[in-house]
Amino acid sequence: MTEAVTHHMTMDRVRDYLELTKPRVVALIVFTAIIGMLLALPGWPPFGLFLASTVGITLAAAGAAAFNCLVERTIDAKMARTRARATARGEVGTPQALVFAGVLAGAGLSLLYAWVNPLTMWLTLLTFVGYAGVYTLFLKPATPQNIVIGGASGAMPPVLGWAAMTGDVSHEALLLFLIIFAWTPPHFWALALYRKDDYERSGLPMLPVTHGERFTRLHILLYTILLTAVTLLPLAVNMVGLVYVASVLVLDGVFLWFAWRLYRVYSDALAKRTFAYSILYLSLLFAALLIDHAVA
């Protein structure tokens, strides 16, 4: 075996393990956690604390994602979106994936405990258990409301960031939690609509499978209306200024337009655009929070 072939195989294996961490999902998680850190203090946070918090949360999130891939390997193998994952193909075995997830999560939690504060470590551990354990093992295969209940774990990152900087959880941090919690169902159900056949093959009771497309489209619209109301709550507690308000009104208006169109006339293409916009929406909303905080 030549050195070039060996190098290529090594890089393929590295890529396999990296994909198990769901880098794009983790990037959004870490981004919202960082915004939580930056909003928690009036000025720039201490660099060492900021770095340790970011790395610790990143490692823990990556470990949770890898554990999710391990648990769902047989389901992933049936779905076009996920069948290329190394655990689904059998390229990474159960012991290797378990050790990989455990090392990542353990390293992240240890870093948070030693260099940040115990509260952040315990909240991160609770988030890990909620996502990798309660949601993945129990809720997802059991109920079409899985993403609503399990969304609590996905909404925790800004709370973790806030706790990392201040050592406590304030009402402002909980409002950031509520925004992501309300955002998660319309975001995920848009994906589930155009991936309905995948979920039927996998046997997962996602809402479009159990209750049909029209029911799901209605609930996307209703949850988007709820999200719009929730995103205005920071104004009610004087947490934000005009930059955020102007930004969120535009962002909410576009999201409502997508949700209304999706409810009235469905197409897979529109569901894909709605899903893509939902990711952009959350990123821009949290960026607006940060800009508003910086100019205040």
List the chain pLDDT tens, one digit each, 296 residues.
565 545 445 677 889 899 999 999 999 999 999 999 999 999 899 999 999 999 999 999 999 999 999 998 988 888 888 888 888 888 889 999 999 999 999 999 999 999 999 999 999 999 999 888 788 777 778 788 888 877 888 999 999 999 999 999 999 999 999 999 999 999 999 999 999 998 888 888 899 999 999 999 999 999 999 999 999 999 999 999 999 999 999 999 999 999 999 999 999 999 999 999 999 999 999 999 999 999 97
Residue for token pair 């990152």? 157
Three-state DSSP class for residue 176? helix
b/e code 153-174 from CB counts within 10 Å (16+ = b): bbbbbbbbbbbbbbeebeebbb
Cα dihedral 109, 115, 117, 120 sign: negative
Q: For residues 4 and 142, state if they share a domain.
A: yes
Q: Which of 113, 137, 168 is the last residue of a domain?
A: 168
Tokens of 81: 């979106």
Q: Are 91 and 16 in contact (CB under 8 A)?
A: yes
Give Dmax (Cα) for the chain.
Answer: 66
Residue for token pair 């990392």? 164
Q: Are 177 and 230 in contact (CB under 8 A)?
A: no
Nearest to 84 by CA among 131, 19, 150: 19
CA distances from 248 to 35, 155, 161, 240, 242 (A): 16, 18, 22, 11, 10
For residues 203 and 232, give the distance between their C-alpha atoms in angstroms, rounded to a whole number: 38
DSSP string, 151-205: HHHHT-HHHHHHHHHHSS--HHHHHHHHHHHHHHHHHHHHHHHHTHHHHHHHT--
Q: Which of 168, 189, 207 is the last residue of a domain?
A: 168
Give the model's pLDDT for residue 79.
84
Q: Are 199 and 192 in contact (CB under 8 A)?
A: yes
Total number of domains constituting the chain: 2
For residues 74 and 94, give the distance between their C-alpha atoms in angstroms, rounded to a whole number: 12
Q: For residues 186 and 246, state if they share a domain.
A: yes
For residues 203 and 76, give the distance between their C-alpha atoms in angstroms, rounded to a whole number: 11
b/e code 31-45 from CB counts within 10 Å (16+ = b): bbbbbbbbbbeeeeb
For residues 251 and 228, give the distance between their C-alpha atoms in angstroms, rounded to a whole number: 9
Q: For residues 145 and 253, state if they share a domain.
A: no
Give the model's pLDDT for residue 5.
44
State which residues form the domain around 278. 170-296
Q: For residues 25 and 155, state if they share a domain.
A: yes
Residues 6 or more apart whose Cβ sits within 8 Å of residue 62: 21, 22, 26, 104, 108
Q: For residues 114 and 179, state if they share a domain.
A: no
Q: For residues 13 and 150, state if they share a domain.
A: yes
Q: Which of 106, 138, 168 is the last residue of a domain?
A: 168
Q: For residues 158 and 174, state if they share a domain.
A: no
Domain of 286, CATH number, reads 1.20.120
Q: For residues 267 and 159, state if they share a domain.
A: no
For residues 55 and 135, give the distance between their C-alpha atoms in angstroms, rounded to a whole number: 24
3-state helix, strand, coil in the chain (%, to 5): 80, 0, 20
Domain of 18, CATH number, reads 1.10.357.140
Nearest to 60 by CA among 116, 125, 118: 125
Q: For residues 130 and 143, state if they share a domain.
A: yes
Three-state DSSP class for residue 246? helix
Q: For residues 158 and 282, state if they share a domain.
A: no
Q: For residues 77 and 11, state if they share a domain.
A: yes
Q: For residues 38 and 130, state if they share a domain.
A: yes
